[in-house]
Chain A
Amino acid sequence: MYRYDEFDREFVTSRVAQFRDQVERRVSGELSEDNFKPIRLQNGVYLQLHAYMLRVAIPYGTLNSRQMRMLAHIARTYDRDYGHFTTRQNIQFNWPKLTDIPDILEDLASVEMHAIQTSGNCIRNVTADHFAGASSDEIADPRPYAEILRQWSSNHPEFAFLPRKFKIAVIGAPHDRAAMQFHDIGLEMRRNAAGNLGVAVYIGGGLGRTPMVGKLVNDFVAEEDLLSYVEAILRVYNMNGRRDNKYKARIKILVHETGLDELKQSIDAEFERIRDGVLKLPDADVRSIEAYFAAPKFELLSDRSSLLEAAKADDKSFTRWVDRNVSAHKQSGYGIVTVALKSTGEAPGDASASQMDVLARLGEQYSFDELRISHEQNVILPHVRLDDLKAVYDDLVANGMAAPNAGLITDIIACPGLDYCALATARSIPVAQEIGERFADLDRQNEIGDLKLKISGCINACGHHHVGHIGILGVDRRGEELYQVTLGGSGDEHAAIGEIVGRGFSKDEISGAVETIVDTYLAKRLADDESFLDAYRRIGAAPFKEALYGPVAA
């Protein structure tokens, strides 16, 4: 994985010193909250309902055990012993004191981490497929490009005060695990006819109050032009994006109002102007970044592990966990382990300091010192020998992290909601917990099969409800929490935005409504292996509406 050189180290350290000075000026009153706000946001500091919140970047979701231990240390020392992994490969600490934050940032810098641009109207933490470098379907590892983009976007002088936040995701496989088409810029690595590497570029995707699927603006941008093309998009957006209404300020609205063709002309013109300039990427530089992400020294192993087979034979729970939480690795004899932070009754994405320490140890011991954070708020051990799966599982069981539910109905994405967030209009976590309890029976979960359920506590859609196969949006209706249900959304390569099924449900009704939807699916599916999403696409919303609201009058 990437390691800081002297330059990176000095950059991050001086950024910490800069922010320390700014915090001092805020505390002394020299900086007003109004002028401090954009500065603190660009350093990951929010002012939430009860306290300041610090959002730390985990660029493209990759970290080592030392870094994970530092996150545990921060949770223990400056917070209430836990952290919350988010849907954008960040971790949030909910209770730090403003005056402690420069020290926290200094601790992070000591392990090559930072909180730069995890919020604010700037280019945010660049995300990537959490199975990068491990999955069997990969064309190329997307992390070198994500790292180049991370560097280029860090403290970019021109794009620090954009009309609105700007999110970039990179994937390197045809199967999209990073919701790439729901980003301001989505990049999909591909090879052209000549075999050269580059990216297909999507723009204008996003969730929030106006969900849109990203549109293909260029089907192949060569590797050497990566930064020039992205800079051209940003420049056109910075000058032309709306600033009169923050709800219409994202690039998706510019794409929608200007039209893709016209906007593409402006982008292409700017790209042509700058493509042979200073941003052209020298091959040697890309290769040297790429070298940081070289595959670990895998052992040559058979793709069948007798140890694994023997363990499965006498442990049904283990078998269930392997079936759901271990994915195919490109290297034979290895698997990708998803540690679901979704045990029954837990807040999705939350991990305690001691759990983080356990994860760090497991990464160190069994996964070449590497861990990943997924946008589905789980932790990944990317390179585990099949022979070691049982040991990893036993360790996870002992530490309460062996939920065998990856991709099942209880592997819920949820935002922090009204329990923490200043923007929220309804609670999310208790709804997730209630649904988790209602569907706790593992046989039933497995019978239901693949089902992505996502919950947001307000229209800003941090819980990605629009792309849930079942999506739940909590709103405030005259002081009461009301939950709207959408069906048929999808964040993968067959991207779709869920459709609202009808009037909302009260907090007491919502988990029952989910059960009705699931029962309807089970009754209507053609076979066990017709997934919820496939069945929904075949039969449409009508049977679900009828089950929820009664027959429609003709």
Chain B
Amino acid sequence: MSYLYKDGAFQSDKWLTIDGDQPVPEGEDVIVSLTLFEEHQHALLTRNSGRLGVHLEAAEQLDAIVPHLDKFDVVSLDFPTFADGRAFSKARWLRDQHGYAGEVRAVGDVRIDQVSHMKRCGIDALLVTHQQTIDSLTDIKDPGLQLYYQPSAIDGETKAGGRAWARRA
């Protein structure tokens, strides 16, 4: 079971993830795979009701969804393993290059020790299954550092120290 963490709290996930060839129900908020989106692009973009999100596997690129970003309320990025960091760059691109303002969600092997990095790359929602990560988030025990040597994709960090690139949470 996975749980959605957003805006500093766990909350119920209103989004339905569509697996494989499952039909897309009218009226529901759905997250579809990139394959499904590419195959049924027109139908998905012209649904009468229900919001749309898209999920990218780690090896899938942003190119195909970029022209339609304004149609997606959620972009979900897969972290298949702790060591696979591709989605960090994708999140940065969505925020910095494309000015994407919707939800960017981390899905997969989401661990507390990466949460700070995820936030700083512009990820604002986590789908968590790992129990210790759930506990740490509940107890607000983020082991991430509060001082940074890089400007990041998120608001709320202030300039720190004497250098242009230093920031404080």
Closest to A12 in B: B147
5 smallest CB-CB distances across A and B, nearest first, come from A161-B85, A7-B161, A157-B117, A157-B120, A278-B151
**What residues on B are CB-neighbors of A238 within 8 Å?**
85-86, 88-89
Check B161–A22 contact: CB distance below 8 A. no
**Known contacts A227-B165, A273-B97; A22 and B113 CB within 8 A of each other:** yes
Q: Among the listed A15, A154, A162, which residue makes an inter-chain contact with B85, where contact means beta carbons less than 8 Å apart?
A: A162
Tell me whether A154 and B146 are in contact (CB under 8 A): no
Q: Which residue, B58, B86, B143, B149, has most C-beta atoms of chain A within 10 A?
A: B149
Which residues does chain B contribute within 8 Å of A22, judged by CB atoms?
A: 113, 143
Q: Which positions in B face A, CB cutoff 8 Å?
A: 58, 61, 82-86, 88-90, 92-93, 96-97, 111, 113-114, 116-118, 120-121, 132, 143-152, 160-166
Is A14 on the interface with B (CB-CB < 8 A)?
yes
What sequence of 0s and 1s flags, for each residue 269-310 of chain A, a beta carbon within 8 Å of any chain B beta carbon?
000011001110110010011000000000000000000000
The answer to whether B82 and A38 touch across the interface, beta carbons within 8 angstroms, is yes
Residue from A7, A278, A279 in contact with B160 in the complex, judged by beta carbons closer than 8 Å: A7
Contact A158 B145 (CB under 8 A): no
Q: Is A160 located at the chain interface by the 8 A CB criterion?
A: yes
Q: 16 new A-B pairs (CB below 8 Å) besides A158-B89, A161-B85, A235-B92?
A: A7-B161, A7-B166, A11-B147, A11-B149, A21-B143, A38-B82, A121-B85, A151-B165, A157-B121, A159-B85, A235-B93, A243-B58, A274-B96, A278-B151, A279-B165, A288-B163
A6 and B160 CA atoms in complex are apart in Å by 10
A501 within 8 Å of B (CB atoms): no
A279 touches B151 (CB 8 A): yes
**Shortest distance in angstroms between A285's beta carbon and chain B's nearest beta carbon?**
5
The complex places the Cα of A22 from the Cα of B14 at a distance, in Å, of 34
User: Taking each of B84, B97, B117, B120, which has the highest tally of chain A beta carbons within 10 Å of its own beta carbon?
Assistant: B117
Q: Across the interface, which residues of B come within 8 angstroms of A495, CB to CB? A: none
CA separation between A314 and B124, bound complex, in Å?
74
Among the listed B85, B90, B121, B147, which residue makes an inter-chain contact with A7, where contact means beta carbons less than 8 Å apart? Answer: B147
Q: Interface size (A, Cβ < 8 Å)?
A: 44
Q: Which residue of B lies closest to A121 (CB)?
A: B83
Contact A15 B145 (CB under 8 A): yes
Residues of A within 8 A of B84 (CB): 161, 243
With CB as the reference atom, state the residue of chain B lying closest to A243.
B84
B88: chain A residues at CB < 8 Å are 157-161, 238
Contact A155–B149 (Cβ < 8 Å): yes
Task: Name A17-52 residues within 8 Å CB distance of B.
Answer: 18, 21-22, 30, 34-35, 38-39
The chain A residue sitting closest to B168, CB to CB, is A7
Question: Are B111's CB and A35's CB within 8 A?
Answer: yes
Cβ-defined contact, B82 with A161, below 8 A: yes
A447 at the interface (CB under 8 A from B): no
Which residues from chain B contact A523 at a C-beta distance below 8 Å? none
Set of chain A residues within 8 Å of B89, measured between Cβ atoms = 158, 235, 238-239
Interchain CA distance A348-B156 in the complex, whole Å: 50
Contact indicator A155/B85 (Cβ below 8 Å): no
Write out the residue numbers on chain B whose beta carbons fall within 8 Å of the beta carbon of A247.
none
Determine if A5 is an interface residue (Cβ-Cβ < 8 Å).
yes
Are A14 and B145 CB-contacts (below 8 A) given A160-B117, A239-B61? Answer: yes
A39 CA to B111 CA, complexed, in Å: 12
Q: Which residues on the B side are within 8 Å of A30 (C-beta)?
A: 132
Cα distance A243–B85 when bound, in Å? 10
Identify 23 residue pairs between A and B in the complex whose beta-carbon atoms are under 8 Å apart, listed by A's number. A5-B162, A10-B147, A11-B149, A14-B147, A38-B83, A152-B165, A155-B148, A156-B150, A157-B88, A157-B116, A157-B121, A158-B85, A158-B92, A160-B88, A161-B83, A227-B165, A235-B89, A238-B85, A239-B86, A273-B97, A278-B164, A285-B163, A285-B165
